[in-house]
Amino acid sequence: MAIITPASSGSATAARQKASKGGKPNFTQAQALAKQKALEKKAKKYKLPLGELAVFTQQLASLLTAGLPLVQCLEALQDQTEDPVFRIIIRDVRNDISSGNSFSSAVKKFPNAFNTLFISMIEAGEASGGLAEILGKVASYFEASVKLTKKVKSAMTYPIAVIGLAIALVNVLLIFVIPVFAAMFDDFGAKLPAPTQFLIDLSDFLKANFFYLLIGCYAVYWLTNRFISTPKGRRVKDQFLVRAPIFGNLIHKIALSRFCRTYATLIRSGVPILRTLEIVSSASNKVQIEDACQEIARHVSQGGQVSEVLAVNPFFPPMMKHMVKAGESTGNVDGMMTKISDFYDVEAEATVASLTSLIEPMLIVFLGVVVGGIVMAMFLPIFQLGAVAGGLQ
């Protein structure tokens, strides 16, 4: 506790007098302090992007391999990290380690920033004494996951953008353009063709109920999210995604790849199999794999093998079951799992490429039919009027 001497009290009074004359320095300091406190509060619940965690893990592994102490490595990474919230997290972890705590216990205080896989691998590295080597394996795993995710996202960006643009364009035509044609057609006094009348009725409905439709869409979105957050809803969602047309096969392959790579990385790093299955289950984000991991854990604890559970689970393809069984026969399960993961990564990339080449012409046809149909329906009465006028002449 600091003791306030008369001199220090006098200096504080002088500082207050100086602040009263020109309060900008103190105001700037107060702003900086408030910002720092806000960042520290955010750090407790901050979810670190996987790409940034991969870079951090790779850099930490490189520094440890070079022979630097862990505290010094974290200090160097803290200085070069651009993310202000993550900088605070690294600072707190470093201070915790300097106080005598282990690395794993320090990162456990930030479960949103450091996922379960990272924490478990740190524990395995501390137990085996090969922290740098295990961090290198974790970094490779994270980098492979980020690479695959980026490819899928980049492939999906184009169709999502085109579909969004098409929806916006159709709404603009229905709400703003078609009413102008409808007013013009009223002057004709003739019965309109069915497609034209349908579009005019749809335009009137949208104009009269646009606000209610927005509320309805938001309500459906909110209720869907609430349902998905329940265990039953999450199960329905995962089963639907895997069986969905076009994208279901891709989602299935990515889930299998993640399962195999996570399992192989943990087993190779010396993590016990039951703990491995627990981590794989939480990292999979798929109820099918969670159920399989629970069944495998029960079977293995009773003396069984992983391949015996995979053989009767329809979620896992026959090729994977045979390769895992071969790996168990040769004592190289982690190697086989890595090969399976590499295979499904290649398959997923090929599926993404084929989907991209397939979706582009489908989107062009979709836009042509929708927009062209609207234009033709609105000009159809004008064409008919021209034909009637030509017949009268």
Q: Under CATH, to which class is 148-387+389-393 assigned?
A: mainly alpha
For range 228-245, the mean pLDDT: 89
pLDDT exceeds cutoff 50 at 372: yes
pLDDT exceeds cutoff 70 at 386: no
pLDDT exceeds cutoff 60 at 220: yes
Residue keyed to tokens 């201070």: 95
- Chain segment 263-305, per-residue pLDDT in tens: 888 888 888 888 888 888 888 888 999 999 999 999 989 888 8
- What integer best gives the mean pLDDT of the chain? 82
Q: Do the domains spanning 50-142 and 148-387+389-393 agree at the CATH topology level?
A: yes
DSSP 257-291: HHHHHHHHHHHHTT--HHHHHHHHHHHH--HHHHH
**In CATH, 50-142 is 1.20.81.30:** yes
Contact call for residues 284 and 293 (beta carbons, < 8 A): yes
> Nearest-CA neighbor of 353 among 250, 244, 242?
250
pLDDT at 188: 67
Q: 184-222 b/e with 16+ CB inside 10 Å = b?
A: ebeeeeeebeeebeebbeebeeeeeeeeeeeeeeeeeee
Domain ranges of the chain: 50-142, 148-387+389-393
Indicate yes or no: pTM above 0.75: no
pLDDT at 248: 86
Model confidence band, residue 15 (pLDDT cutoffs 50, 70, 90)? very low
For the ranges 67-76, 126-135, 177-186, 262-271, the maximum mean pLDDT occurs at 67-76
